[in-house]
Structure formats: C-alpha cells, structure tokens
Amino acid sequence: MGEKSKKRVLSGMRPTGKLHLGHWAGTLSKWVDLQKDYECFFMVADWHALMSEYKDPTSIRETALDNIADWLSWGISPEEAVIFIQSEVKEHLELFMVFSVLTPLGWLYRCPTFKEQISQLKTREINTHAFLGYPVLQASDILIYKADFVPVGEDQLPHLELTRQILRRFHFLYHQEIFPEPQPLLTEVRRLLGLDGRKMSKSYNNCIYLSEEDLVIKEKVMSMFTDPQRIRRKDPGRPEVCNVYSYYKAFFPVYQKEVFNWCTQAEKGCTECKSILAEELCKFIAPKREKKKALLQDRKKLLSLIEEGREKASQEAKKTLVQVKRIIGL
C-alpha cells in the first residue's frame, strides 16, 4: 500500500441490503482481484443509500457493517485496501459542495441514470434536490482520492463521464489541473441471474445471499428453473438455456464440460444436476459465512478495522480538500 508506482482505484457500494451471489460475481470478486495491482479504496456509500432510503433509514448503518463483514470474509484485505464508510469522511461533502456550485443543472437532468431511476423507483419519492445531485457526490467520492481508475458496471458509465466533465470545468475555471481523469475499469458483464431467471435482486426474492446457511442454499438451488423442454429424465437437455448451467459456468468452471455432457446426453437428471451444484455452493460459501459470523461477533474488532480505514481515507481526503480550498480561495 501507498507505493507511488501503484495506480489508485476507488469504488463504492450502496448499503441497501444484504449482499448476494450477484454482488460477488459482478463486483466483489473484481475488487478482490484489484487489490494486489492497485492501491484500492473501497467505500460503503451510505449517503447515496440515504438518498433513496431516507424515509426508513434505520437499517443503513447495520447494513453497512454487514456488507463490510462480507467484504472481509470474501477476501478484501484491510492490509491491502482502505475500507471505509463514506459518511465518516466529512471531506466528501465539502468537495460535493464545491462541485455543486459549478455543475450546471442541465448536466444532471440529462443524466440517463437520473431519468431512469425516477421512472423506475416509483415506490420511493426520489424527486429530491439531493438525488438530482447523486452523480456530483459520486464525482467527489472519486476525485477526493484522485483515483486513476473506477471499477464500475456499464450502468455507471454516465456517472464517470459526468465526473470527468466536472473536473474539466474545475480545471477550466481555476486554471489548475489537480485531478487526473479517472478511467473506468469495465468489469466484463457477468450478470448472474436469480433463482427464477430474472435479474438477481432482493425485491424479487430470488437471491442466494453470501452468508446463506447450507439448508437454505440447498432448498433454493433445488427450486431453480431448468430447461423447460426437458420434461422426462431421458430427454436430453439444453444447457445453454438453463440457469443452473450458468451457475456452474460462473462459479465452478471445472465442471462446465462435464455438466454439458451429462445434460445433452441425458446421463444425469436435473435433480441430480442441481443437488451437485447445491453441494458445491455450500462448500464454496460455508467458510466465508463462518468467518463472517466470527467478525460480526467481535464487533469491537470490526469497528476498529473500519476506524483504521476512516483514518487512512481521511488523511488522503484532507490533502485534496486543503488544495481545493486554497485554489478557490476559501
């Protein structure tokens, strides 16, 4: 950590619920891989969560701790990466204010994620001042650490583009180029579908959680949809349309060929195919689940890890803010 030769990465997750296998496949596994090659800052974006959960915010803090416990037990290392909670580093909001005054409203109204979310999240009233500024806060998350790279899914690209627009405007207005232009680290989209074949999401109740118990894993896997045309045991199946097969591909690629063969040649039935997957998933999840339990039981230790992260993040954030305030003369 801290070596000058390493480029810097910042990424964040909103603490809106327990983490599931979709988070692992899409985000967390990538973060784990980045730790060695980059100086990583991984953040719980609790202010961003508050923007949509403000009517019932009481679980945000617990979810934040729960998510961090998952990060740690699934391989994020507090020695390699800086793990922290956004709201504990106050400088994010100060830089947010600076960026707010120079960001034209049009940029925000035009942001595709804003338009989308407003139309999708009908159950929550997010037509608010803060929510419009969502990408501005995200820009300050990234730029307060002068991050070189931001690992994001494609859905977040407009926010990264806005971050670059904001920093260019800052550079243009104050004639000092202090921020590197952050580049996306596009994580190849390996979208894991839920048990029912729809997007994995807690609101569809189709998730396998990262701390799921063995019995529940088995029950859930056995309930998965398979190739609908494979009705009898002796019918050959079509792995390419079967969600169970995509789980093998995502988590146990060594099985891929074998499953393809037993499916297309009707050597094994779907029940057996699923129970093997369930066994493997249990073996995969159990050690991390137990590690997480231990972490949550030793709350003091967990909190002190988070405090260390806050300390390291604050140090960097303060440097940038001092520089920014000097430039604008406040």
Helices (H), 79-124: 91-102, 105-110, 112-120
Inter-residue contact 165 to 201 (CB < 8 Å): no
The DSSP-derived string for 252-296 is -GGGHHHHHHHHHTT-S-HHHHHHHHHHHHHHHHHHHHHHHHHHH
CB of 222 to ligand SF4, least distance (A): 10
Query: What backbone phi and psi angles, to 5 degrees, belong to 85?
Result: -110, 125
Using the rule CB under 6 A, is 40 a contact of ligand TRP? no
Among 57-65, 90-98, 195-203, 235-243, which window interacts with ligand SF4 (CB under 6 A)?
235-243
Question: Rule CB under 6 A: is residue 242 a binding residue for ligand SF4?
Answer: yes
C-beta of 150 vs 242, nearer to ligand SF4? 242
Q: Is 259 in the site for ligand SF4 (CB under 6 A)?
A: yes
Stretch that binds ligand TRP, among 56-64, 103-111, 150-158, 193-201 (CB under 6 A): 150-158
Instruction: Name the E strands within the chain.
Output: 8-13, 39-44, 81-85, 149-152, 183-186
Q: Which is nearer to ligand TRP, 48 or 310 (CB)?
A: 48
221 touching ligand SF4, by CB under 6 A: no
Q: Which of 84, 22, 77 is nearest to 47 (CA)?
A: 84
CB nearer to ligand TRP: give 11 or 35.
11
Greatest Cα-to-Cα distance within the chain, rounded to the nearest angstrom: 77
Nearer to ligand SF4, 26 or 197 (CB): 197
Residue 227 within binding range of ligand SF4, rule CB under 6 A: yes
CA pair distance 75, 152, nearest whole angstrom:
19
Pick the binder of ligand TRP from 39, 53, 141, 227 (CB under 6 A). 141
Residue 182 as a binder of ligand TRP (CB under 6 A): the answer is: no
Phi and psi at 11, nearest 5°, equal: -145, 160
Half-sphere exposure of 139 (CA within 13 A, CB side): 30
Counting residues that bind ligand SF4 (by CB under 6 A) gives 14
150 binds, among ligand SF4, ligand TRP, none (CB under 5 to 8 A by kind): ligand TRP
Q: Which of ligand TRP, ligand SF4, none lies near 259, with the C-beta cut-off 5 to 8 A by kind?
A: ligand SF4
Q: Could you say which of ligand TRP, ligand SF4, none residue 182 binds, taking C-beta under 5 to 8 angstroms by partner kind?
A: none
Directed axis angle between helix 157-174 and helix 134-143, to 10°? 70
The answer to whether residue 244 forms part of the interface with ligand SF4 (CB under 6 A) is yes
**Distance of alpha carbon 318 from alpha carbon 144, whole angstroms:** 8
Binding of ligand TRP by 138 (CB under 6 A): yes
Smallest separation (angstroms) from ligand TRP to the CB of 127: 18
**What residue type is assigned to position 57 of the chain?**
P
Q: Is 195 in the site for ligand SF4 (CB under 6 A)?
A: no
By CB under 6 A, name the one of 273, 305, 313, 317 that touches ligand SF4.
Answer: 273
Cβ(38)–Cβ(32) under 8 Å? no
Which member of 132, 136, 270, 302 binds ligand SF4 (CB under 6 A)?
270
Only segment of 9-17, 55-63, 170-178, 229-237 that touches ligand TRP (CB under 6 A): 9-17
Interface positions with ligand SF4 (CB under 6 A): 226-227, 230, 237, 239, 242, 244-245, 259, 263, 268, 270, 273-274
